[in-house]
Amino acid sequence: MSSKEEKIRMLKKEFQETNTYNRPTYCQECGGVMVFKGVGEYQCEKCGFLAYDDYGKARNYLEKHTGATTAQVSEATGVSQRSIREMLKEARLEIAANSNFFLQCEICGANIRMGRYCPKCETAYHRNLEEQARVRNEKMAGFSTERRKAEEGSKRFKREEF
Ligand SMILES: [Zn+2]
Ligand SMILES: [Zn+2]
C-alpha cells in the first residue's frame, strides 16, 4: 500500500469517527472529493458520482415510502436506528402527520413521533422524580405546616427544573 493510500485511509477513519451521519468524503468510483450539494446529497467533483450521507439516505427512502417505520428505513438504507433516532431528535427528519414513521418509547415501547418517551411515561417519569423529591423533603424538614407553606413557592420552582 502506498503512503498516499495510507494517508487517505487514515483521513477517512478520522473523519468517520467525528462524523455521525457517515458523510461520504471520497468518491467510491474515482477517489475524487465529494462536494456537499444539500439535503444529505454529495457529488464527486471529478466524475459527478452522487452519494448520500445517513440523513440523505433516510430522507430519500422516506420520500418514496411515506408509511415506513424506523426499523424498515434502517433495514432498507443500512442507517442505524440510533442514527435515525438522533436525526429525529434534532428534527433533521420531518415526519408527515399521516405517516407511520415512529420511534418507540424507551419505557413502554409505545409509538412516538419524537424524543425518548411517550407523553404518558414522560409524565409518570416526572411524577416519580417529584415524589422522590417530596419524600426526601419530608424526611429532612420538620413537620411544621407554617414552614412547609413558606417553602411551597421555592419547591414548586425546583420541581419545574426536572
Ligand atoms: Zn468520482
Ligand atoms: Zn411510554
Query: Residue 19: pLDDT above 80?
Result: no
pLDDT confidence band for 121 (50 / 70 / 90): confident
Residue 33 CA to ligand 1 centre (angstroms): 7
Mean pLDDT of 91-97: 59
Nearest ligand to the C-alpha of residue 117?
Answer: 2
Strand partners, 111: 104
Nearest ligand to the C-alpha of residue 51?
Answer: 1
pLDDT reported for residue 18: 45
Residue 99 CA to ligand 2 centre (angstroms): 20
pTM here is 0.48
pLDDT reported for residue 1: 55
In which residue are the cell numbers 407523553 written? 119
CB 118 within 8 A of CB 105: yes
Query: Residue 65: pLDDT above 60?
Result: yes
d(CA 136, CA 158) in angstroms, rounded, equals 13
Q: Which of 15-19, 22-26, 149-153 is most confident?
A: 22-26
pLDDT confidence band for 158 (50 / 70 / 90): low
3-state secondary structure (DSSP) of residue 25? coil
Q: What residues does each domain of the chain span?
A: 15-52, 119-159
Query: Residue 129: pLDDT above 70?
Result: yes
As a whole number, the mean pLDDT across the chain is: 76
Mean pLDDT of 99-106: 68
pLDDT > 90: percent of the chain: 15
Mean pLDDT of 17-30: 77
CB 40 within 8 A of CB 22: no
d(CA 100, CA 15) in angstroms, rounded, equals 34
Residue 96 CA to ligand 2 centre (angstroms): 21
Query: Residue 11: pLDDT above 50?
Result: yes
- Dump pLDDT digits (tens) for 39-61: 788 999 999 999 999 989 988 88
